[in-house]
Amino acid sequence: MIKISIDKAKPGMKIARDIVNEAGMVVITAGKELTDALIEKLSIMNIDFVYVEGQKEMPPKEEVFEEIEKRFKKATDSYTLLIKKALKTHIEELYK
């Protein structure tokens, strides 16, 4: 399941979580497929985000780790390196 902003929503995407309006009423139930008309309706209702089925597009893991190495090039102290270590663990988890 991924969360996308309404302007990224496209017909054919499958809703993964009930969409609730300002009054707390369910307007579209999970499992339904989006259509142009539904997307239009959601934008009128001021709904900014929806959850749809699918996986987030992520860059290759090796690339992300390479970028981290580059960004941390100037970090040599133990505190900043601790952050780097925590970040790498976090990124590893995202790719599990």
To the nearest whole angstrom, how small is the minimum distance from the Cβ of residue 76 to another protein?
Answer: 8
At a CB cut-off of 8 Å and minimum separation 6, what does 5 contact? 48, 49
> Residue 8 corresponds to which tokens in the numbers above?
């990224």
To the nearest whole angstrom, how small is the minimum distance from the Cβ of residue 81 to another protein?
Answer: 9
Give the residues across from 4 on adjacent strands. 50
Please count the other Cβ atoms lying within 10 Å of the Cβ belonging to residue 15. 21
Q: Which is nearer to another protein, 35 or 43 (CB)?
A: 43
To the nearest whole angstrom, how small is the minimum distance from the Cβ of residue 68 to another protein?
Answer: 7
Q: Which residues bind another protein (CB under 8 A)?
A: 3, 5-8, 22, 43, 48-49, 56, 64, 67-68, 70-77, 79-80, 82-87, 89-90, 93-94
Termini Cα distance of the chain: 15
